[in-house]
Amino acid sequence: MRMPNLSLPPPAAAAAALEPGQALGVWRLIRPLPDGEQAHAGQWYSAHHALATEQQAAVLVLDRSDQGAGIMLRYADQAGDLARLLHPHIAVPSDSGVTPDGHPYLILEGLHGEPLLPRLPQLGLRERVELLVQLCEALRSAHQQGWLLAEIDPAMIWLDPAGKVHLMGLGLTRIPDPADPFDRGLSLGASPAFIAPERRSGEPPSLASEVYGLGALSRVFICGWEDTPKGLAPLRSGAGQQWPGLKPAQQAQLDALLLAAMAESPELRMRGAESLADGLREWLGQGPQRSATAAAEPAKRSAWWRRWLWLGAAAGLGLLAMAARVVEPTAPTAASHSQPRG
């Protein structure tokens, strides 16, 4: 595996679109791929090998910026370890280089499909939730191999030709040692809406910060999104507003999942991608795929969302009680009776 050349020219504007057939090492670009993310750090392309055209790859040409340099530095530091990360739905860079006009690029070999976000409007709710489960299960495997997703960027979530999710794993990092944390910086340029509050305060990545980002991504999938001056952000509306055909119990369960994943305090969030996957499986009517640890406490995991429903109900009753105390009853008079409006 060749290490990236980090002797880059000074920062510049975003890279100009490259032409089909442009040579980047042994790869030839086919076409640019829209990823639906306005605040992304670079441009995706599909590519094929110059000699073996059946070999496909995705190419990310990065902006010549601090963000681009940060991605290349992370890759240079972790390239050897990343190459040993194995999962059919996780793609990691296999090569890198610099374009003739000085823009760094990364090669992710394989047939990965295309970025998911532009295709999301074509998918129903159940399909979206199933893709989220696939992503969480891929991260479950990554955790077992010592990795977590430090930065979640919707542009890194792809849909392959078979309809399966692919994570372009540029935001992966080794799970930090709590006694010696590292990698406190952010480099992908993802929208702040996907970054946990403690990460914005300088804390190292953790399974809790990862599940916050997954919660924001889940809200994008389920509730929709908007483009803001700081990048793409999920809508904060409830699931029922986007999917009015949902039964009240289904809507409440989904809203509880999103609320638990994106709690401001890490201590109040669900226990990670594994718990989110189990909750989404339960919503789909499937049995949760439990680990040995999870199997030891089935009642606690299967009913966690109901606790959030009770909390929401209690908060609503409290507001009603406060309103009742504020409005003092008065004796009815002739003037107080409601009159028909002309």
CATH 1.10.3720.10 for the 114-316 domain, yes or no = no
Average pLDDT score over residue span 133-160: 95
Taking residue 238's Cβ as centre, other Cβ atoms within 10 Å add up to 17
**φ/ψ of residue 184, rounded to 5:** -85, -10
**91 contacts: CB under 8 Å, gap ≥ 6:** 58, 108, 109, 110, 112, 158, 166, 167, 168, 169
pLDDT at res. 318: 47
Type of residue numbered 274? E
Domain boundaries, the chain: 26-109, 114-316
Considering the domain 26-109 in this protein, what is its CATH number? 3.30.200.20
Are 104 and 98 in contact by the 8 Å Cβ rule? The answer is yes
226 pairs with which residues across the strands? 233
Task: Render pLDDT for 177-231 as a digit per residue (tens, 0 to 9).
Answer: 766 655 555 556 667 899 999 998 888 899 999 999 999 999 999 999 998 888 8
Residue 340 has pLDDT above 90, yes or no: no
pLDDT at res. 291: 46
Name which of 39, 31, 281, 33 is nearest 154 in CA terms. Answer: 39
**259 contacts: CB under 8 Å, gap ≥ 6:** 308, 312
Taking residue 237's Cβ as centre, other Cβ atoms within 10 Å add up to 13
Are 217 and 136 in contact by the 8 Å Cβ rule? The answer is no
Task: Render pLDDT for 272-300 as a digit per residue (tens, 0 to 9).
Answer: 999 999 999 999 998 755 543 443 344 44
Tally of CA atoms within 13 A in the half-sphere of 336 that contains its CB: 5
Type of residue numbered 322? M
Residue 304 has pLDDT above 80, yes or no: no
Which pTM was predicted?
0.79
Longest dimension (CA), the chain: 92
Type of residue numbered 203? E
Residue 146 has pLDDT above 90, yes or no: yes
Determine the Cα–Cα distance for residues 153 and 210; give it in Å rounded to an integer: 11
DSSP code per residue over 2-29? PPP---PPSP-SPPPPPPTT-EETTEEE
Equal CATH topology for 26-109 and 114-316: no
